[in-house]
């Protein structure tokens, strides 16, 4: 599959590491790197900002990032953000996600995941790294020791074999057409199963399905 060219601006605080990442990005045929900045503040003043599709932001410290992203999105609402961070604080991750970030992954992600994340975000999808998804699916620490009544399922036995297959593929970022091709069924059938999954699992979108899939061990 040939992907359309995505215009990327790289934000990285460390010059040598920034150069290495930029070199890797420039070797990807589906990426056009149009600039580099050392911080989000510098990015907000960049003359290339209006032409950028995705800002890939390396955040070694997430303090104040959410506010800066919100301000940048006010100027450029169509700009998408993929944040790469080493933080293990779910409170910080959630704050950044709520600011409008559509991609979030760890610094230790594999190269294949990097490519998939960029392609997913460029298509307007939401992409969170596997480890981030696992942590987001967990209840807050202050609730883990308390008995909680959850509507979310804790077993996959009540799902059919076909529903489990579709849940796994949705969590793996497959589109409706790709799922249909993989399972040799129609797109209409895929959508019917997806609606049934929404109802059974008590979620409203593919992100919710992915969280449940991680919790159930489907992916």
Same domain, 124 and 177: no
Closest CA to 167 of 96, 127, 216: 216
pLDDT, tens digit, for every residue of 2-30? 668 999 999 999 999 999 999 999 999 99
pLDDT, tens digit, for every residue of 168-188? 898 888 888 899 888 888 888
- Write out the DSSP string of 69-84: HHHHHHH-TT-EEEEE
Domain of 111: which CATH number? 3.40.50.2300
pLDDT greater at residue 129 or residue 131: 129
At 37 the pLDDT is: 94
Structural domain that includes position 122: 6-137
pLDDT greater at residue 44 or residue 90: 44
At 148 the pLDDT is: 42
Task: Return the percentage of the chain with pLDDT > 90, whole number.
Answer: 30
pLDDT, tens digit, for every residue of 47-100? 888 899 999 999 887 778 899 999 999 999 999 999 998 766 777 788 888 888
Same domain, 90 and 198: no
pLDDT, tens digit, for every residue of 202-211? 788 888 888 8
CA distances from 43 to 40, 52, 73 (A): 5, 11, 12
Whether 145 is covered by a domain: the verdict is no
pLDDT, tens digit, for every residue of 152-169? 454 556 678 888 889 889
Same domain, 92 and 196: no
Q: Indicate yes or no: pTM above 0.85.
A: no
Whether 1 is covered by a domain: the verdict is no
Same domain, 130 and 165: no
Total tally of structural domains belonging to the chain: 2
Q: First and final CA of the chain: distance in angstroms? A: 24
Average pLDDT over residues 101-105: 88
- Are 104 and 57 a contacting pair, CB within 8 Å? no
At 212 the pLDDT is: 83
**In this structure, is the dihedral angle defined by the CA atoms of residues 85, 90, 92 and 97, taken in order, positive or negative?**
positive
Question: If you count them, how many residues does the chain have?
Answer: 219
CA distances from 30 to 89, 101, 115 (A): 32, 21, 10
Highest mean pLDDT among 40-49, 102-111, 142-151: 40-49
pLDDT band at 131 (very low <50, low <70, confident <90, very high): low
Whether 146 is covered by a domain: the verdict is no
CA distances from 25 to 34, 39, 61, 83, 117 (A): 11, 18, 23, 15, 13
Same domain, 129 and 166: no
């Amino acid at each position: 599959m040939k992907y359309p060219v995505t215009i990327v601006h790289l934000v990285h605080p460390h010059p040598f590491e920034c150069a290495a990442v930029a070199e890797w990005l420039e070797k990807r045929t589906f990426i056009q790197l149009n600039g580099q900045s050392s911080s989000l503040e510098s990015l907000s003043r960049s003359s290339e900002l209006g032409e950028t599709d995705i800002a890939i932001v390396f955040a070694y410290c997430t303090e104040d990032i959410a506010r800066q992203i919100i301000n940048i999105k006010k100027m450029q609402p169509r700009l998408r953000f993929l944040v790469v961070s080493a933080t293990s604080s779910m409170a910080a991750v959630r704050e950044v996600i709520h600011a409008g970030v559509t991609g979030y992954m760890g610094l230790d992600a594999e190269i294949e995941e990097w490519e998939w994340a960029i392609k997913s975000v460029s298509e307007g999808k939401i992409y969170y790294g596997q480890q981030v998804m696992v942590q987001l699916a967990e209840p807050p620490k202050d609730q883990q020791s308390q008995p909680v009544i959850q509507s979310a399922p804790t077993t996959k036995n009540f799902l059919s074999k076909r529903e489990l297959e579709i849940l796994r593929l949705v969590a793996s970022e497959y589109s409706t057409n790709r799922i249909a091709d993989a399972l040799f069924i129609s797109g209409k059938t895929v959508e019917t199963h997806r609606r049934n999954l929404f109802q059974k699992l008590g979620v409203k979108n593919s992100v919710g399905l992915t969280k449940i899939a991680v919790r159930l061990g489907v992916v």
